[in-house]
Structure 1
Amino acid sequence: MRTERRGFVIHHGFLDRPAQERLVETLRGVLQEAPLVQPVTPRGRPMSVRMSAAGEYGWITDRKGYRYSETHPDGQPWPPIPAQVLEIWREVSGSARDPECCLINWYGEGARMGLHQDRDETDFGEPVVSVSLGDEGMFRMGNEERGGKTESVWLKSGDVVVMGGEARLRHHGVDRIRFGSSTLLPQGGRINLTLRVVT
């Protein structure tokens, strides 16, 4: 089922359970090459999510600021974006280009992501595609300017969100995780993939 809210296009149940399981197994291999790290904001505050990436670039944050980097914080190049992930992008994004970054965020119990814009990319005409795996997350959709009324929706495992057009620069975030709501990840938690064209 496909719905649209504030320009965010939500493909509910886009990935069935076998496809989710295959993707999780693939991501385990990616994370062996590029382990999850707990990033800190430029002010030195640890984030509640853990992050990694695949592709030509990964998005990182530390005391030097928010930015894309061609290497993992350990200095190694990021592994390539898996074929299954590229297939999702090609089916839903409407873009003629392939993504250059697949950001991997892992949310444990109590983790969240405050309202933010994705503004570190060069071309805002290219969408951001988000893939949810594991526990349900409360996804909040705001406005291009900070503040004002927002809407929220629970994203379930297998849901895919396309943030393009009017939604591309809207603030968005994840307020909370319904920990234990999915059996996909044996120890619980939520994996969120966000695919972006960087340059």
Structure 2
Amino acid sequence: MYGAQSTDEEPERTAFRLAEKRYKLYKSLPPKTRKKPVLNQTDLSDVVDFHAILESVDLIDGIFRLDCPGFDRPVFCFRDRPESNANTSVEAQGSFKSVSASTLLRKLRWGTLGLQFNWSKRNYDFTLPHNKIPEKLCQLAKEMAVPAMPSGEEFQPEAAIVNYFGPSDMLGGHLDDMEADWSKPIVSISLGCKAIFLLGGTSREDVPVSMFLRSGDIVLMAGKARECFHGVPRIFTDDKHAEVSVLLSQFSGEDDCCITDYIKNSRININIRQVN
């Protein structure tokens, strides 16, 4: 799921692919006088910024604020788009090589909570042993899913895929289409560094909308959005754009340095699903 791959089914010049290439982080070789790579200066002026909308009187054309009785957080929707908003040893050549936990953490790309997902068959394997999603995370997902649920129904968190992003990682355009009931939303929680999220249409030829996702933001992939391509072409790890100070303030203990070091250069996405 990570990286950008071009196949016969995904031509290099589809609208979604071009948007990925536009926002992707590129590093050029620095002159001999510089020590750090030179990053591309992408124009971000057309990326939807919901934090700026919150502080403005006027809404951006095509975006409206959803009034959800009993829900005390701001909810924004698109008018012309679908509704959105360690084991420390590895075996090598017959012997065991010691690898630090921090090194393994940097290699981590995804994990699962609840029902296990079979990546090769692209379905949920109900025969595999699994633990339930932690209760506090379930409760959060139920509360946040309210704006996208039919009246009187409660979201049932059954599985979650956790994506881990490093400084140069991206998540290519894809569909989340393995759940039996697409009328239920996917609750997608962002933690850590700010990212650009692309929400396209039912075809890769549809031009996607780009938006910022910050730590604490939640996207509900609901209704027709369940049929739409989406992805993350870039995260921001520089001090100016990462915007992790609020999250870092929650970790001030002497033993928290490994956590804060990770947060400064990473993003975690927890997307919670009702499978049946």
Please state whether the residue corresponding to 2:161 is helix, strand or coil. strand
Please state whether the residue corresponding to 1:173 is helix, strand or coil. strand
Distance in 2, matches of 1:124 and 1:49, equals: 29
From the superposition, tell whether residues 143 and 4 of structure 1 become closer, same or farther in structure 2 (CA, over 3 Å): same
When Rg is computed on C-alpha atoms for both structures, the one with the higher figure is 2
Q: Is the counterpart of residue 2 in structure 1 residue 75 in structure 2?
A: yes
Distance in 1, matches of 2:185 and 2:222, equals: 4
Question: 2:111 pairs with 52, 65, 71, which one?
Answer: 52
Question: 2:234 pairs with 176, 184, 193, which one?
Answer: 176
Q: CA deviation at 1:158?
A: 0.2
1:8–1:161 contact (8 Å) kept in structure 2: no
Distance in 2, matches of 1:154 and 1:132, equals: 11
Q: For structure 1, list consecutive stretches of 5 or more residues without a partner in the other structure.
A: 11-31, 34-47
Identity %: 31
Please state whether the residue corresponding to 1:88 is helix, strand or coil. helix
2:197–2:232 contact (8 Å) kept in structure 1: yes
The residue type equivalent to 2:77 in the other structure is E
Distance in 2, matches of 1:113 and 1:60, equals: 18
Partner of 2:26: none
Paired residues in the alignment total: 157
Distance in 2, matches of 1:52 and 1:122, equals: 21
Give CA-to-partner distance per residue, 1:121-168, whole Å, 9 cap, x none: 111111111000001111000001221211010100000111111212
Distance in 1, matches of 2:117 and 2:272, equals: 11
The residue type equivalent to 1:197 in the other structure is Q
From the superposition, tell whether residues 80 and 164 of structure 1 become closer, same or farther in structure 2 (CA, over 3 Å): same
Please state whether the residue corresponding to 1:132 is helix, strand or coil. strand
Partner of 1:80: 132
CA RMSD of aligned residues (A): 2.3
Distance in 2, matches of 1:169 and 1:97, equals: 19
Partner of 1:102: 160
- Following TM superposition, the consecutive aligned residue runs of length 4 or more in structure 1 with deviations greater than 6 angstroms are none
- Which of structures 1 and 2 has the larger relative contact order (alpha carbons within 8 angstroms, sep 6+)? 1
Name the structure where strand makes up a greater proportion of residues: 1
1:106–1:191 contact (8 Å) kept in structure 2: yes
Question: 1:134 pairs with 186, 189, 192, which one?
Answer: 192
Q: CA deviation at 1:9?
A: 3.4
Name the structure where helix makes up a greater proportion of residues: 2
More off after superposition, 95-104 vs 1-10: 1-10
State TM-score, norm by structure 1: 0.70
Q: For structure 2, list consecutive stretches of 5 or more residues without a partner in the other structure.
A: 1-73, 88-106, 248-258
State TM-score, norm by structure 2: 0.52
2:175–2:227 contact (8 Å) kept in structure 1: yes
Please state whether the residue corresponding to 2:227 is helix, strand or coil. coil
